[in-house]
Structure 1
Amino acid sequence: MTDILRLKDLRIGFAVPGGMLEALRGVSMRVPAGKTVAVVGESGSGKSVLSQAVMGILPSNGRVTGGQILFSDPDKPGTVVDLAKLAIESPDYRAIRGGRISMIFQEPMTSLSPLHTIGNQIVEAVRLHRPAGPAEARDLAREMLRLVGFPNPARALRTYPFELSGGLRQRAMIAMALVCRPALLIADEPTTALDVTIQAQILKLMLDLQSELDMAILIITHDLGIVANIADEVVVLYRGEVMESGPLEAIFANPGHPYLKALLRAVPRFDMGLERLTPIREIAQGDGHMLAARKRVWTPAAEAAGPLLKVEHITKSFAIRNSGLFGGGPAETIKAVDDVSFTIRRGECLGLVGESGCGKTTLSKILMRALTPDEGTIRFNDHGKPVDVGALEGEDLKAFRPRMQFIFQDPFSSLNPRMTVFDILTEPLTIHGMGSMAERKAIAKELMTLVGLDVRYLQRYPHSFSGGQRQRIGIARALALKPDLVICDEPVSALDVSIQAQILNLLKDLKDRLGLTYLFISHNLAVIDYIADRIMVMCRGRVVETAPRADLFARPTHPYTRALLAAVPAPDPTRRLDFAALMDGRASDPAAWPAPFTLRPDTPSRLVEIGKGHFVRATEDIALELAS
């Protein structure tokens, strides 16, 4: 079998103050023709540097210091080019880059030009590498957009990236990469920022196009579930060196290196029961005695007053003005949250699941009073004292804020880059006038030890921390005011599996130690299965199913819930994704659901109890049948 790409003892260094930092240290691997090779490792292992070296797009301070990058073009049998020796700006390299080797980047929004239409960007790729006129290039672009699944390719040619969802932007990036029919496609974390259903669609699309175009794929990822579903061979990188490589089945059936075994143990799986995730590096947590001492004891009267949070009939709509002359087009109303009701009991973790755009974050903002609902009430049980959260204003609202805190999805953008960690952690205490300066300093130190960070880091700034450490700082800030309820909005979606395991374990430990209650928002049911006690599934602004964790996974009833479960890639090659269960990408379209679950204005629906605490949304005429 011919190898499209072969790396031999590849070494890459970066010029930094104090000398040369070696990012890749003697990497050797291959990509066979027509096959998929996955490069696996944590952030900082050298995965993206490897892909940049192949494409000739290393940063200005990076260079190949040794080894070979051998590319064998199937269109030129017997010809092997060492890309490491080609001048980056030479015509030969430019012909290969984009023409014979293409790349899909991790974040399509920053990789696509916001000033040009999708059609213009794909046409540019065609005309750079093929002798095609404007009309022919546009026809090729339209056909490629059809191949990657755009519902209206002709219209897609005229759209700008900001008008597309994350999944469609990634499809546009794939179309631009494949329009010249390359021999090798490099996919650098192509699904990291996508929902599990969209991720599954993109994986199926890549496999289908690989078969149709007869190309090889080099996929770079930290998600072992993706690897188990798409790869033929696996290469495991750690700190710039290959730890293990081989065929997919052999790697998963009999992992040899301790690092690979550790990666596998860090991945959340369904039906883990009481088993605990094992991160590669454990967090050494402090005891948090000061925070525990501030914990208010719940009395029998407070328990009898009902759940900690009771949300009833919350609705929120947004008016979107379609573009016209001077923005004067007709306005369109979109219901982001549609008649949502639920409760959260003290001490439990309620998991909220759904795709991007289903209303999860909007609902969380309403609970935090960052948005005002059109209808509905939010009642909080403040240790026996009922509080109407929606009616609070001024000082009353400020006094209530410590009871409910928020952990954000992106820790870097939610931390002020101009403030030290000490200032970040003590700012909530200062705002609410809690404690003297000495007490605030003591609490800041305890918060650092509680989340496993060295107290000497208090004078550092956010940019000097890794993603996982920044997320721990965000958690510490949320705990500073000793809240009763913490809303966690996708707190692990952007993290490596090993760091994700650290954060999930930390959140579970803090819940038990400090008596916290969580609303945990995620699109990954495997993560929710690990941390939640009860699960609520949202789609198109409505709750479609809610149940205790074990019941939901044992008896998923709603077609959308079943599609979400089917879309989670298991880190097991013997349990591959069932793409047929994804309803051809229409899992979140109510019109595609079977009759009892169809949501239409003319067919009223409600949540029907089909088991103890297990509710599913169905039409009124079938409600009694489902309940029985």
Structure 2
Amino acid sequence: MSGNLLTVEDLKVQFQAPEGLVHAVRGVSFRVRPGSTVALVGESGSGKSVVSQAILGILPRNGRIAGGRILFDDPASRRMVDIAALDRDGQPMRDLRGGRISIIFQEPMTSLSPLHTIGNQIVEAVRLHRDVRPKEARDLARDMLARVRFPDPARALDTYPFELSGGLRQRAMIAMALVCRPALLIADEPTTALDVTIQAQILKLIKDLQAELGMAVLLITHDLGVVANLAEEVVVMYRGEVMESGTREDIFANPGHPYLKALLRAVPRFDMAPGERLVPLRSVRSEGGRLLEQARTPWPPGADAAGPLLKVEGITKRYGARGGGWFGAKAGAGTLAVDDVSFAVKRGECLGLVGESGCGKTTLSKIVLRALTADSGSVTFNDHGTPVDVLKLSGGELEAFRRRMQFVFQDPFGSLNPRMTVFDIIAEPLVIHRIGDAAERAERVKELMALVGLDVRHLKRYPHSFSGGQRQRIGIARALALRPDLLILDEPVSALDVSIQAQVLNLLKDLKERLGLTYLFISHNLAVVDYMADRIMVMCRGRIVETAPRELLFRDPLHPYTRALLSAVPEPDPARPLALTELEEGRSSNPAAWPEPFTIDDQHHPPLVHRGGGHWVRADLDMTTREVA
């Protein structure tokens, strides 16, 4: 008829909330052609996911389609169906949902049942939509797991979600969504929770399966780099309305709407000019700081001669090696999470630590903070000219030291107590360390709120009342309450939209300069670390494989793992697509598969070699006489 697989016409969606009617989607229109990829782009709250819920008939009970049509050219019945007019619980809608239209959700761990095996969950999807025997359904599930490139599809059928990595869980979700060969796949932020290398593999997988199965893809994302690599047409949404739409080339080459231009300016890029700042859609105004500056203990002359602010030497940590029975654990048993790691952080600098999930970044940071105990090694902190052996502290000395070093967590919601007000959350460190009386604490909390750009009138609110970016700023305020010298920032923006991410990154930069802070900034996104860090360490399988000043590392990366991380970062530019075919499955993070002189296995244990200018790379000693390809 129209030639379109899906046509959304003037869609309006409303929610009945306690404060009144919320107009979540306001007259949205777009089309998806057979076999094509259309991206719905916008921040959280723009209405992207609500549109997908309306298409699948899975709106919450307090939501309803208030107007418009959702026309789907059903390949099974060969007729046009208006999804908006169907009963969401009726058989026609249930036939479409999961059969001809499927969805991949953002967080695979919460979308998969933890009580059922991967095989059971895929088989259930098959038997809901096909009249097949259990054995045939299981064979189809195994074949689909093979298509999404599970290492051992037959074994994967009997594994539970918690036994799989984030990338494999997302592949299981894709297998479940595609096992009935839908005509339309809705991918709702399918790679947001994944490392850049795993994200690149998932993007390649979706493109390959799309070509193989001939399906259309509706991609929902806030990541313009992903859009540039996957989409053919782009629809930009803001507050429930379409701001701009067109082909990928037109959208990126000639953005017309101010909102789209602002989104593009908010994305960290490798080619940013020296001193250039990200431009968030809404700036955060940081005020105050007088009390924190007064509480700052000046560094005596010559204190830096005692060494860097933080010095870590030979830290090793192995999990799962605790003893059992009469003879204890076997030597070398368990998983080696951190392997002989050494580094230093100078006062006033930002040291970036990058690597994929599971490489040991967070374990290392928790050892430095004394939240975990190392098997061997030392951590020395320069406390205003006095070296402190951190790993030997105990009792009151350890409690006093914790004021000097604080942590900002990755999850801005899970790290805040939902039963405490914002005032109590920020004041808690002051109470624990018995700093000031009630009046002084109240004054400090108000100043901290203003310092991170939040309204002091909202101190009596609870965390659920705030957006993700606001919650992360509350976490930063709590970390600054004790006036630390060193902040450990563990993936502080990975859960945030690009525009909110820009707000938080700019705020962290400003606070570092104003308060004289030192950062250990942990991330898997090299573009973000490039924006924040002075020096960067690259970590893989518990080892530091390369470290260098920021500009030197990105101009001349030597290690193959560093190069793989760089090549996996999607840029918001269609002219510079990801080399998806070169990002081999898992080889980049397999030390035994690295070429000489970088190979690490039972016979090869290369050290870190200095290449000049503070650039170190883990390779054979004779590398100084070799040319690195």
Distance in 2 separating the partners of 1:19 and 1:379? 57
Q: Give 1:33-182 correspondences, 5 Å limit.
A: 33-77=34-78, 79-182=79-182
- What residue is the counterpart of 1:265 in the other structure? 265
Q: Give 1:444-593 correspondences, 5 Å limit.
A: 444-593=445-594
Aligned 8 A contact 1:609 1:627 in 2: no
2:213 aligned with 1:213: yes
- What residue is the counterpart of 2:382 in the other structure? 381
Distance in 2 separating the partners of 1:81 and 1:75? 11
- What residue is the counterpart of 1:255 in the other structure? 255
Distance in 2 separating the partners of 1:138 and 1:126? 9
1:550-579, Cα deviation, whole Å (9 max, x unpaired)? 000000010000000000000001100011
**SS of residue matched to 1:411:** coil
Distance in 1 separating the partners of 2:544 and 2:93? 53
Aligned 8 A contact 2:117 2:159 in 1: yes
Distance in 2 separating the partners of 1:412 and 1:235? 29
1:71-118, Cα deviation, whole Å (9 max, x unpaired)? 0123444x1000011111222111111110000011111111111111
Distance in 2 separating the partners of 1:533 and 1:74? 55
Q: Which amino acid aligns with 1:578?
A: A
Distance in 2 separating the partners of 1:53 and 1:175? 23
**SS of residue matched to 1:71:** strand
Once the two structures are TM-superposed, the CA of residue 627 in structure 1 deviates from its matched residue by: 9.8
Aligned 8 A contact 1:204 1:579 in 2: yes
**SS of residue matched to 2:53:** helix
Distance in 2 separating the partners of 1:563 and 1:489? 22
Distance in 2 separating the partners of 1:571 and 1:321? 47
State TM-score, norm by structure 1.
0.97
Q: Which amino acid aligns with 1:476?
A: A
Listed as ranges, the gaps of 5+ residues in structure 2 are: 324-328
Aligned 8 A contact 2:196 2:525 in 1: yes
Once the two structures are TM-superposed, the CA of residue 584 in structure 1 deviates from its matched residue by: 3.0
2:346 aligned with 1:340: no
Q: Which amino acid aligns with 1:521?
A: I
1:267-296, Cα deviation, whole Å (9 max, x unpaired)? 000021321000000011103121112222
Q: Give 1:233-248 correspondences, 5 Å limit.
A: 233-248=233-248
Q: Is the alpha carbon distance of 1:614 and 1:626 closer, same or farther for their aligned partners in structure 2, counting shifts above 3 Å?
A: farther
Q: Is the alpha carbon distance of 1:88 and 1:508 closer, same or farther for their aligned partners in structure 2, counting shifts above 3 Å?
A: same
Distance in 2 separating the partners of 1:600 and 1:329? 21
Aligned 8 A contact 1:228 1:248 in 2: yes
Q: Give 1:324-363 correspondences, 5 Å limit.
A: 332-363=333-364
Greater mean alpha carbon deviation, residues 35-44 or residues 90-99 = 90-99
**SS of residue matched to 1:286:** coil
Q: Which amino acid aligns with 2:354?
A: V
Q: Is the alpha carbon distance of 1:101 and 1:392 closer, same or farther for their aligned partners in structure 2, counting shifts above 3 Å?
A: same
Over aligned residue pairs, what C-alpha RMSD do you find? 1.8
Aligned 8 A contact 1:340 1:543 in 2: yes
1:389-412, Cα deviation, whole Å (9 max, x unpaired)? 000000000111110000011121
Q: Is the alpha carbon distance of 1:45 and 1:321 closer, same or farther for their aligned partners in structure 2, counting shifts above 3 Å?
A: farther
Q: Give 1:169-208 correspondences, 5 Å limit.
A: 169-208=169-208
Aligned 8 A contact 2:382 2:388 in 1: yes
Distance in 2 separating the partners of 1:572 and 1:380? 43
- What residue is the counterpart of 2:26 in the other structure? 25
Distance in 1 separating the partners of 2:94 and 2:322? 43
State TM-score, norm by structure 2.
0.97
Distance in 1 separating the partners of 2:27 and 2:281? 24
Q: Which amino acid aligns with 2:12?
A: R
- What residue is the counterpart of 1:274 in the other structure? 275
**SS of residue matched to 2:402:** helix
Q: Is the alpha carbon distance of 1:545 and 1:398 closer, same or farther for their aligned partners in structure 2, counting shifts above 3 Å?
A: same
Q: Which amino acid aligns with 1:309?
A: L
Once the two structures are TM-superposed, the CA of residue 173 in structure 1 deviates from its matched residue by: 0.3
Listed as ranges, the gaps of 5+ residues in structure 1 are: 323-327
Q: Is the alpha carbon distance of 1:141 and 1:373 closer, same or farther for their aligned partners in structure 2, counting shifts above 3 Å?
A: same
Q: Is the alpha carbon distance of 1:95 and 1:255 closer, same or farther for their aligned partners in structure 2, counting shifts above 3 Å?
A: same
Q: Is the alpha carbon distance of 1:331 and 1:519 closer, same or farther for their aligned partners in structure 2, counting shifts above 3 Å?
A: closer
Report how many residues are paired. Answer: 622
Greater mean alpha carbon deviation, residues 565-574 or residues 129-138 = 129-138
Once the two structures are TM-superposed, the CA of residue 124 in structure 1 deviates from its matched residue by: 1.2
Distance in 2 separating the partners of 1:312 and 1:232? 50
Find runs of 4+ consecutive structure 1 residues off by over 4 angstroms.
Answer: 328-332
Aligned 8 A contact 2:321 2:330 in 1: no
Greater mean alpha carbon deviation, residues 5-14 or residues 292-301 = 292-301
Q: Is the alpha carbon distance of 1:228 and 1:123 closer, same or farther for their aligned partners in structure 2, counting shifts above 3 Å?
A: same
Identity %: 70
**SS of residue matched to 2:597:** helix
Once the two structures are TM-superposed, the CA of residue 131 in structure 1 deviates from its matched residue by: 2.0
